[in-house]
Amino acid sequence: MAPPTIRLNTGQQMPQVGMGTWKLDTATAADDIYNAIKAGYRLFDGACDYGNEKECGDGVARAIKEGIVKREDLFIVSKLWQTFHAKDKVEPICRRQLADWQVDYFDLFLIHFPVSLEYVDPSVRYPPGWFYDGESDIRVANVTNQETWTAMEGLVDAGLVRAIGVSNYQAQTLYDTLRYARIRPATLQVELHPYLQQTEIVRLAQAEGIAVTAYSSLGPASFVELDMDRAKSVTPLMGHPVIKAMADKYRKSTAQILLRWSTQRGMAVIPRASEPEFMAQNLACTSFDLDQVDMDRIAKMDLGLKFNQPTNVRGSPVCLPQDPKR
């Protein structure tokens, strides 16, 4: 059974449950994407910065070649990295990313972060990452978000992308974009889980007709893998007593409980999985409903705790909210 879809303000139907590609190993990414398509996934969320778009494209191409899907059956998302925000850099890098995915258009293309960095030529280093020198030198470029958004609109005009959106924006930046946008953002993608519920930005986006995609729905799990002190200092959500109790109650996995909490609130989710069992579980996360009392209980777990920000590197001093372990 295919997961439900969310209607975007472009009229497109975006699958509510997709597969994220952040940290997919390049050695296995092609097989992971291919197997996910066979398992029923149709939404794939990628980015230049993930360093695996060519391999993900190989998986897509294999599935299309074998007749498992057609291109129009898939909803492929990618993102513009910060070193390519200048108006003359947006289209060339989008075309390169399309070539990596081996498709003619993206269904959705996002601004990855609303901060422009100095250009790094792909021949020097690709993906370029955060640092101009590849090590420690962060150089902010004098490019406005409006310039970048206008160039993103040009991608729609050129037929290279079907919709455009934003990622890691906060309310003020989103409001600013809406002030000058000729083409409104179709989606907002943000880190969102019970420890970081982002209630206000979600309410704003949905009120403006902008669909919300939650990433890192399982909380600190992916960031513990990066040896992040902040992530290691709180109870893992998949091992949290509240979530475990709900998993027992509904006879579901803890991951399914966390994903259902977001999807039941109208958001899309993009968990990463490589094992067939977990792929199937994640895809089936909309097959049941949480009682309102359980939705309310999870709502009380908010710590305002953000993991995906540059200061959260190992050893950085951070002020952690108390984890009540409710």
DSSP state of 194: T
C-alpha–C-alpha distance, residues 284 and 276, integer Å: 12
Residue 105 a catalytic site member: no
C-alpha–C-alpha distance, residues 155 and 306, integer Å: 31
C-alpha–C-alpha distance, residues 22 and 321, integer Å: 27
The CA dihedral of 251, 256, 259, 261, to the nearest 10 degrees, is: 10
C-alpha–C-alpha distance, residues 137 and 142, integer Å: 16
CB-CB contact of 92 with 154 (8 Å):
no
Catalytic residue among 50, 119, 169, 195: 50
Positive or negative CA dihedral for 167, 171, 173, 179? positive
CB-CB contact of 80 with 148 (8 Å):
yes
Q: Residue 255: CB partners within 8 Å, gap ≥ 6?
A: 218, 238, 271, 278, 281, 282, 285
C-alpha–C-alpha distance, residues 13 and 31, integer Å: 26
CB-CB contact of 113 with 189 (8 Å):
no
Q: What share of the chain is helix, strand, coil (3-state, %, to 5)?
A: 40, 15, 50
Q: So which residues are the catalytic ones?
A: 50
